[in-house]
Amino acid sequence: MDDNILLKIALFSSLIGIIVLFLILHFSEIELVNINEIDDKIDEKVRIQGRIVKVSNIGETTFIEISQECTITGIIFDNISLKENTFAEITGTVDEYNGEKEIIIDEIRQNR
């Protein structure tokens, strides 16, 4: 087969692959939910936006209270510095500990 034709096929296939990856990324966004809607989302990944009302560092763990109409605790297994009374978006997995819902945080974006 002609090298020119093989090059065109390879470029076309690469372009189609990039488009498919972009579409998968676009449609697989993690659901943005309110805190009062997470009761049925145990072990699911969620995104929550709210105000950081309290930050506590204990050893290598950071506990964050995020507030909307109600409040939930987020946990990061790292000692990080965050400002209270600022808006943040967190992504993580909903968990339950001692009968209370909490979010094990994978990612946090804080607006300064």
Do 45 and 8 reside in the same domain of the chain?
no
| Strands, E assignment, 5-85 | 45-58, 61-67, 71-76
DSSP structural state of residue 4: H
Do 55 and 79 reside in the same domain of the chain?
yes
Do 58 and 91 reside in the same domain of the chain?
yes
- Write down the pLDDT at residue 89: 93
Q: For residue 108, which amino acid is it?
A: I
Summarize pLDDT for 55-86 with one digit per residue, the tens: 999 989 999 999 998 999 999 998 888 889 99
Structure-token pair, residue 39 = 């009761």
CATH number reported for the structural domain that contains residue 63 in this entry: 2.40.50.140
Single pTM value for the model: 0.72
